[in-house]
Homo-oligomer: A and B are copies of this chain.
Amino acid sequence: METREISQAVISRLPRYLRYLGELKDEGVERISSQELSSRMKVTASQIRQDLNNFGGFGQQGYGYKVEFLYDEIGKILGMDKTHNLIIIGAGNLGHALFNYMNFERRGFIFKGIFDVNPDVIGRSIKDVEVLSLDCLEEFITENDIDIAVLTIPKTAALNVAERLSKTRIKGIWNFAHIDLNVPSHIQVENVHLSDSLMKLSYNINRGEE
């Protein structure tokens, strides 16, 4: 497979391809043309060809894409053939929601632990996993080969926790705190800024009214 640099815009679209290809696979579809995929996904066929060409010849002229093969290949590109160990920092409602969401496990994302600073919450169990004190953070990460930390804590706490995480073996932070984190470049950060998303919806609603 080619390993040239792929833009983050393309990467952002890959999970959606994976979702649609998974549905096609479930429906028993073996191959699909870029035109058919285009009408399902409501993106142009040329965009699909351009995106998928980044990964080298999956499509064949006049034949289309092999669904299962393409599904597997995109899965591999996204690291879905590997297992990742996660912890959640912040055992509030959002932390609970993510911890309970089983589909992540099917994708190889294994939640190993959940942390909080609130003494009323520490020691309680979620799905048979005990909420731990943030004091144990570094030790737990080392002992359990944790790759990804999920931050579901207020922004004031997030900066300090991110700094602590920077000194561990953590490779990625999935950040729900409403602040941009400042971490060394070997740590990847993926932000989910929910307010930003809601504001974008607000813009589009109000624009529609003009």
Contacts and interface: CB of A to CB of B under 8 A. Distances in A.
A203 interface: yes
Given A8-B200, A92-B97, 11 more contacts: A11-B204, A14-B200, A16-B193, A42-B180, A79-B206, A96-B97, A104-B198, A107-B199, A147-B205, A171-B209, A174-B197
A167 interface: no
A157 interface: no
Contacts of A188: 201, 204-205, 208
Interface residues of A, number: 57
Contacts of A109: 198, 202
B195 A190 contact: no
B201 A174 contact: yes
A205 B195 CA distance: 25
A100 to B, nearest CB: 6
A199 B82 contact: no
A199 B82 CA distance: 11
